[in-house]
Chains A and B, each alone.
Chain A
Amino acid sequence: MLQKMYDWIDERIDITPIWRDIADHEVPEHVNPAHHFSAFVYCFGGLTFFVVVIQILSGMFLTMYYVPDIENAWKSVYYLQTEVAHGQIVRGMHHWGASVVIVMLLLHTLRVFFQGAYKKPRELNWIVGVLIFFVMLGLGFTGYLLPWDNKAYFATQVGLEIAEQVPLIGTQLKTLLAGDASIVGAQTLTRFFAIHVFFLPAALFGLLAAHFILIRRQGISGPL
Chain B
Amino acid sequence: MHRGKGMKFVGDSRISSEKTSQIPKDYSEYPGRTEAFWPNFLLKEWLVGAVFLVGFLCLTLAHPSPLEGMADPTDAAYIPLPDWYFLFLYELLKYEFASGDWVLLGILGIPGIVFGSLLLAPFLDNGPGRRPHQRPIAVGMMILALIGTIWLTYTSASHVDWEARAEANKPVPQSSVTIDTDHPGYAVYENSCMTCHGGELEGGPAAPTLVGTEHSAEEIADIAVNGTGSMPAGIFTGSDEELEQLADFIVTVNESAE
Contacts and interface: CB of A to CB of B under 8 A. Distances in A.
Q: Please indicate whether A and B come from the same complex rather than being unrelated chains.
A: yes
Interface of A: 17, 20-21, 23-30, 32-35, 43, 46-47, 50-51, 54, 70, 74-75, 77-78, 81, 88-89, 91-100, 102, 110, 113-120, 122-123, 126-127, 130-131, 134, 137, 140-141, 144, 147-155, 157-159, 162, 165-167, 184-185, 216, 219, 221-224
Contacts of A144: 82-83
Given A114-B139, A149-B171, 11 more contacts: A17-B22, A20-B23, A21-B24, A26-B27, A26-B35, A28-B27, A50-B53, A81-B64, A140-B86, A157-B80, A166-B107
Contacts of A122: 122
Nearest to A92: B60
Interface stretch (B65-73, B191-199, B241-249): B65-73
A25 B40 CA distance: 11
Contacts of B53: 50, 54
A24 B26 CA distance: 10
Nearest to A103: B85
A27 B67 contact: no
B41 interface: yes
Contacts, number: 216
19 contacts: A23-B42, A27-B36, A32-B35, A34-B44, A46-B45, A74-B67, A94-B65, A110-B142, A115-B130, A116-B129, A149-B67, A149-B171, A150-B75, A151-B169, A155-B82, A158-B82, A158-B90, A185-B73, A219-B25
Contacts of B65: 81, 88, 91-92, 94-96
A224 B130 CA distance: 7
Contact of A150 (B36, B41, B68, B118): B68
A78 B52 CA distance: 28
Contacts of B71: 70, 74, 148-150, 152-153
Contacts of B90: 158
A96 B63 contact: yes
Contacts of A154: 78-81
B86 to A, nearest CB: 7
B56 interface: yes
Contact of B32 (A35, A141, A148): A35
Given A28-B32, A154-B80, A219-B25, A81 B67 contact: yes
Interface residues of B, number: 79
Closest 10 CB pairs of A and B: A29-B32, A116-B130, A95-B65, A154-B80, A153-B71, A123-B122, A92-B60, A149-B68, A74-B70, A28-B27
Contacts of B64: 81, 88, 92
Contacts of B73: 153, 184-185
B183 to A, nearest CB: 28
A184 B71 CA distance: 11
B41 A27 contact: yes
A185 to B, nearest CB: 8
A120 B125 CA distance: 11
Contacts of B54: none
B154 interface: no
Nearest to B142: A113
B163 interface: no
Contact of B37 (A26, A95, A99, A152): A26
Contacts of A221: 130
Contacts of A140: 83, 85-86
A32 to B, nearest CB: 6
Contact of A24 (B37, B56, B72, B130): B37
B33 interface: yes
Contacts of B206: none
B56 A93 contact: yes
Given A100-B56, A149-B70, A222-B30, A75 B130 contact: no
B22 A20 contact: yes
Contacts of B146: 110
Given A149-B67, A149-B71, A150-B169, A118 B60 contact: no
Interface in B115-142: 115, 118-123, 125-126, 128-132, 134-135, 138-139, 142
A26 B26 contact: yes
Contacts of B139: 114
Interface string B74-105: 01001111111110001001000000000110
A97 B60 CA distance: 9
A77 B128 contact: no
Contacts of A166: 107-108
